[in-house]
Structure 1
Amino acid sequence: MVAELIRLKARLLANGFRRSPWQLVGVLIGAAYALFIAVMLIVGMFGLGSQDPGLIRTVLVCSVSVVVLAWAIVPVLLSGADATLDPAKFATFPVPRRDLTTGLLLSGFVGTPGAVTLVLFVAIALSWRQSPAAAFVAVVAGVLAALFCLALARLTTTAALALTSKRRFREIATILIFIPLVALGPILGGLQAGVTAIFDLLPTVAGVLAWTPLGVFAALPADALQGEWGIFALRLLVALASLAVVVWAWSAMLMRSLQNPVQSSGGSKGSEGLGLLRLFPATPWGAIAGRCLTYWFKDPRYAAGIVIVPLLPFILWYASSQSPTPYLLYAAAPLMAVMMGFSISADVSYDSTAFSLHVTTAVRGVHDRAGRALACGALALPLVLAAAIIPPVALGRPGDVVALVGVTLGGLLSALGVASVASARWTYAVVQPGDNPFKSPPGAGARAAITQLVTMFVAFLLMAPEIALVITYFVTERMLFAWLALGVGLVVGTVLLIVGIRVGGRWFDNRMPELMEAVTLNK
């Protein structure tokens, strides 16, 4: 049964590749990237083998501890990202507990994260190549550490099942994943400033971690090298006990969750009235705008797609504070505008089977395009205007507001127009309603990336007149060019939006059956 579960995992992955060549391309790109990182780390571990054994032990214990901790936390935040072998689907099958837990645990190696972790942990033996005994212990400890990572991930995700089944938790997890991006620059700066003090503390930290489940596996080869067999035996006991306890606890929770499954909750309560629909007129495009704006506030997939957008000003603020000129912050508003406008390029795909309402009611394409653009624009406009106005005022250059608002509004309107055409012509696989927003659906990968990159490139290309006028303004310091940038941005952007709505609406009308088929099959 264990071998059958492993074969089932491999077969499901292979079938997913046959279903969509784009998924295969995406997986190959991801695997190539992971292979590159793995090779670099392996080369680093080989070079580390020529250093002092105390330094080797410190580096490996701290590094492995970070990896193990990541396996405990990240799968909880990305719960549902890989549902190829969902344990809940075995609830109706009489699979023995031992076979089910062992099969599910070992099947974790059939996939890029598990396989790469196993290879890297086994490659730790290269750092101990000076001693055959230590290298052998490193191989065995690496396998046990990889198993511990998979079991720990299963344990934490199963324990958090009651939370991850709630939409509100998934939304919070989405935000938590990207918050470190804001603090990444200051964190790295602080580490660079205090690297000497931190380096002095690492041996002490490693000594503590070596007696915990996080770093005990990485400390075993050092004990074997130094011949401290008493300490080696104690650490081995801690390692095996930790692995056994985690596997047993996960197995018990798994059986309990299969017998009493947790019901997924959308996290929404009953509401009265029309909600956001009341803000728009009782017209086809008004109804579509109200519905789409509701999605922006209640569907975590939209938040996952643009969660980086509100963080751009903070990221560029830190980048500009480290450069000779502080005006890099000015790029935040146009970038936010294009990214927000581009986001509706996946609107039809996100509709899923609910798109049938547009088909059965014979919604005109121009109304559909206009409603979706209006909903996104209503949400994006105050954000991008704030990003365009606040930085110049804070820097004491209020005159720059005119030019920056011009290029920002031009970018938003142009991107909405381009996305209105793109979403009527091209669809791609997206996360299904109710699923984790970071789940990688079959057929996404390269096709989605190419569509998104081309859409954004065209949107930036259409901003060329506004960008040229803004550059001229900053070079000459003449307000005439700032006002020209504002006028051109509004006029050209509005024209492009209208053209995009009309062209996209025409394609929408002509391709409605094909769009319905594509979103139903999620491709």
Structure 2
Amino acid sequence: MAVELTMARMKVALLRHELRGQRAQTAGTGATLGLLLAAGTVYLALTDLDLLAAAYAAWLLGWILGPVFMGGGDETLRPEYFSLLGLPPRRLAGGLLVAAFVGIAPLVSLVALTGLVVVGARLGVANALVAVPAMALQLAVIVLLSKVIVALVGLAVRTRPGAIASGLLNGAVLAALGQVWVFMVLFDETGVPAAVWYMPSGWGLLAVQGRWWALVALAVLVVLLLGAWAALLGERAGAVRRSGRARRPMTAGGATGAVVAKELRTWSRDLVRNHQLTFALSYGVCFAASPLLLGWYDLLPYAGPIFVVMAAAMTANVYGTDGTALWLTLMMPGVSDVRGRQLAWLAAHAPVAIVLTVAFTAVAGGPWPLVLALLPALLGGAAGLVPLVSVHLLVPGTDPHRRAGNPLRISEDDGGLTGLAYLMLVLVLLAGLPAGLVAYWYGWAGLAVGVVTGVLCWWGFGRLAEWRLRSRGTELLDVMRTGRRARASMTSRFEGLSMTRRTIAGWCFGLGAVPLVPQGIVAASFVAGGTVRHSWFLATYMEPGLRYPVAGGFILLGLAMYGAGYWAVRPAVTRRDPR
């Protein structure tokens, strides 16, 4: 037990030193939102046990999918740190498991699981007593299952078929979560599926209700998962990445062509990029096709545009994922590396987006002007914004040849990558907004606007990114080599701010997208399409004369929140840089 307690104390010490400044602000915001969700889950224990079982299934999915999308999850303590101690795999897994319970996410999940105690107290004293071990075992199952799935995906990403398969699966699951309203409508018609009760997430609830076999099943599952994780840790520690098979030499007619050829070879060989591409494809198709369960075809034509937006978000840190290899680019100042990357990005994504858009729009029977106007605008906007955002807000990445331990972890700053992805989602959508509005009001005229917008975004943003790379390339290389500038640039916006300004900035930047995109832009599109009383989009529930004003008000609110966030951090920026 000494090893387990030592690892727990190490985790506490590391968190105590890490959770400062902006990290503490981000963690506080996440904890607040998590506790609100946990409180809602506990409330279900008083109202509807079927929904409580479904909520616990959602918590389990969150624990599984969150770490996969966040680069391998919490790795404050990594198995590689203890490889030279000679610990048996099961002992190492036990110590890491104890350390995994130290943190904000397990604490929030434990609060949500107190719903078991509430259910037990309503049923009797014996049931309430059973709820206590059920809570502990249920939390252990959730954490261990998350660890095992992440480890399996990490191993799968080391092979091309595994990277593609995991990308397809992860994209489909996240799209299902994004379209949860579809399943809520189905549940209203058919009820919560009985299978939800018999998932591992529901065994604790069954045990509290008197089915004692579920408590034994939880204990057995903990032992099995611990053994599986121990075996996977051994595979991870001894993993050796195989070099790719020999390929024909790359040929190109010029310097930019050489960059295109190099990038296309990277897109075909880098397993992380394979995973990102297939993830975006699966997400776009599944997100657009989910409403077919309700017989609604209106979203199907937008599979291609959704794929483009998600692909841009996944590749927003394109220069950061190259690691210190940027020095090769800086040694050839006459080469337009940005233009080459833009062309390669389009070559890898545009054919897929075009096929999806044309095929699914033909199935749905339109609207041709709108989707064909959006597609070039989004493609050009994404191809221009990907390098521009990457060189301005670069997050230092792990060199590709050092990803052996955990291929999913391509950066030490998971929060920075997540923020970059959300920012890219908003920016690419804004790039397609003019073409979409013109196409909606004036039909085929929007196609011309989309083409012009796309070309201008590709050329203009690419030009800005190229200028930034040439003028600040050495600084970017130093960021990727040491990470110092990245931390300084982040803290420079928050250091010296009062707690009030920090809180305003954190909430505004963190939640500004909610009124701007779903309640504003998306709700306005539903209103324009005649969709009323739709899911959680407030504008669709208003009287006809209030629908557009409500959607417009949410858009203004989102923009005002981003403006307030900028206002909150602007004094610090001004002091740091008088220009």
Same fold, TM-score > 0.5, yes or no:
yes
2: CA distance between counterparts of 1:388 and 1:214? 38
Per-residue deviation, 1:17: 3.8
User: Secondary structure at 2:247's aligned position in 1?
Assistant: coil
Give the match for residue 52 of structure 1.
Answer: none
Q: 1:174 to 1:81 in 2, by over 3 A?
A: farther
Give the match for residue 119 of structure 2.
Answer: 127
Give the match for residue 226 of structure 1.
Answer: none
TM-score, scaled to structure 1: 0.74
Q: Which structure 1 residue ranges, 5 or more long, are not aligned?
A: 49-55, 224-230, 475-481
Are the counterparts in 1 of residues 300 and 364 from structure 2 also a CA contact under 8 Å?
no
Give the match for residue 137 of structure 1.
Answer: 130
User: Secondary structure at 1:174's aligned position in 2?
Assistant: helix
2: CA distance between counterparts of 1:431 and 1:32? 31
2: CA distance between counterparts of 1:251 and 1:387? 39
Q: Give the letter aligned to residue 349 of structure 1.
A: G
What's the Cα RMSD here? 4.3
Give the match for residue 36 of structure 1.
Answer: 36
Give the match for residue 518 of structure 2.
Answer: none
2: CA distance between counterparts of 1:77 and 1:457? 18
Q: Give the letter aligned to residue 410 of structure 1.
A: A
Give the match for residue 280 of structure 2.
Answer: 308
Are the counterparts in 2 of residues 406 and 489 from structure 1 also a CA contact under 8 Å?
yes
Q: Give the paired residue count.
A: 474
2: CA distance between counterparts of 1:164 and 1:291? 21
1: CA distance between counterparts of 2:57 and 2:377? 49
Are the counterparts in 2 of residues 61 and 219 from structure 1 also a CA contact under 8 Å?
no
Q: 1:39 to 1:494 in 2, by over 3 A?
A: same
Give the match for residue 195 of structure 1.
Answer: 191
Q: 1:166 to 1:463 in 2, by over 3 A?
A: closer
Q: 1:304 to 1:28 in 2, by over 3 A?
A: farther
Per-residue deviation, 1:362: 2.8
Are the counterparts in 2 of residues 65 and 214 from structure 1 also a CA contact under 8 Å?
yes
Match of 2:10 among 8, 31, 38: 8
1:176 is aligned to 2:176:
no
Bigger RCO of structures 1 and 2 (CA < 8 A, at least 6 apart): 1
2: CA distance between counterparts of 1:424 and 1:150? 36
Are the counterparts in 2 of residues 413 and 493 from structure 1 also a CA contact under 8 Å?
yes
Report % sequence identity: 20
* Equivalent runs, 1:388-427 vs 2, <5 Å: 388-396=357-365, 401=368, 404-427=371-394
Per-residue deviation, 1:136: 2.7
The CA deviation string for residues 430-484 of structure 1, in whole angstroms up to 9 with x for no partner, is: 5663365654844342x4455455555444445455334312334xxxxxxx2x4
Greater radius of gyration (CA): 1
* Equivalent runs, 1:71-220 vs 2, <5 Å: 80-93=72-85, 100-130=92-122, 131-150=124-143, 166=159, 168-181=161-174, 191-195=187-191, 198=193, 217-220=204-207
Q: 1:386 to 1:62 in 2, by over 3 A?
A: closer
Per-residue deviation, 1:141: 3.0
2: CA distance between counterparts of 1:195 and 1:98? 42
2: CA distance between counterparts of 1:515 and 1:178? 31
Match of 1:263 among 203, 220, 239: 239
Q: Which structure 2 residue ranges, 5 or more long, are not aligned?
A: 487-579
Larger CA deviation: 139-148 vs 432-441: 432-441
Give the match for residue 505 of structure 1.
Answer: 466
TM-score, scaled to structure 2: 0.67
Per-residue deviation, 1:9: 1.5
Give the match for residue 478 of structure 1.
Answer: none
Q: Give the letter aligned to residue 162 of structure 2.
A: F
Match of 1:286 among 257, 262, 269: 257
Give the match for residue 545 of structure 2.
Answer: none
Give the match for residue 248 of structure 2.
Answer: 273
Q: 1:12 to 1:167 in 2, by over 3 A?
A: farther
User: Secondary structure at 2:246's aligned position in 1?
Assistant: coil
The CA deviation string for residues 51-92 of structure 1, in whole angstroms up to 9 with x for no partner, is: xxxxx6x88788768877997999799994333222343121
